[in-house]
Amino acid sequence: MKNMIKISSLLVSAMLLNSCASGYKKINPETINYASKSIENNILLEYKYDLLGKKYKKKETKNNIKLIAVKITNNTEKEIVWGRDFKLSYANGNEVSLIETEKLFKTIKQSPASYLWYLLLAPVQLQSGTTTTSNGFYTETKPANTFPIGLIAGPGLAAGNMIAASSANKNFKNELMQYDLNGKTIKQGETVYGLIGSNSNSYDSIKIKKVE
């Protein structure tokens, strides 16, 4: 019985550790060391894949999405506008299918409500000691003391993880909105940074494509 209790405790502990909400580590595109770059029509593009971690990374992979940090420098003699004057394409010429920022966020974000399952721990009790009673026909052994730990741990874990997930999502959304380049005007000689999402499951090279 003791071994079964130990095994059950280990399984529950492992499940709890793997099911906890994850934080969000800011990407900060300005601080990234961009190893990939290309230049077309005097517009320099630098970019980097593989930006997310933990649950956000899992959602990104599951939904065949790639979040990309980009650094764009306008070396032309006029201002240019993202989407009007240029877009992004792959090396084979196919246009990069970009995801609108709000949709990107909703697809990759954590679901705070998913942590309500911790409430199922409410019936769990800690038991210690045993008492034995007998009426001459049968003997009954039951715990001497019980403590309703589930009533404390269940709601506490649910609330804590929901708050953590909501906070991480807020930070994630704020950064996506801060670096949204849709319709962005880039002045002559200016460098801008952005975060874009593409419908892709590969790490193909990308480049600037002039809009004719």
Residue 7 lies in a domain: no
Residue 10 lies in a domain: no
User: Is pLDDT of 198 > 50?
Assistant: yes
Q: How far apart are CA 30 and CA 192, in angstroms?
A: 9
Q: How far apart are CA 58 and CA 148, in angstroms?
A: 35
The pLDDT confidence band at residue 122, using thresholds 50, 70 and 90, is low
The distance in angstroms from the start CA to the end CA of the chain is 75
H or E segment at 90? Answer: strand 86-90
Which residues, 6 or more positions from 90, have their beta carbon under 8 angstroms from its beta carbon?
Answer: 96, 204, 205, 206, 207
C-alpha pair distances (Å), 9 with each of 5, 126, 159: 6, 11, 22
Give residue-wise pLDDT tens across range 103-115: 999 999 998 767 6
- Both tokens of 145, joined, read 């003391």
Most confident of 18-22, 130-134, 195-199: 195-199
Give residue-wise pLDDT tens across range 40-64: 999 999 999 999 999 999 999 999 9
Residue 86 lies in a domain: yes
Nearest by Cα to 89 from 163, 198, 166, 186:
198
Nearest by Cα to 210 from 42, 72, 49:
42
Do the beta carbons of residue 77 and residue 188 sit within 8 Å?
yes
Do the beta carbons of residue 211 and residue 87 sit within 8 Å?
yes
Supply the range of the domain harboring residue 83.
Answer: 29-132+140-210
Residue 104 lies in a domain: yes
- What is residue 10's predicted lDDT score, i.e. its pLDDT? 37
- What is residue 153's predicted lDDT score, i.e. its pLDDT? 64
**Counted domains in the chain:** 1
User: Is pLDDT of 65 > 70?
Assistant: yes
pTM above 0.85, yes or no: no
Residue 22 lies in a domain: no
C-alpha pair distances (Å), 126 with each of 92, 117, 123, 149: 62, 20, 10, 6
Give residue-wise pLDDT tens across range 26-42: 999 999 999 999 999 99
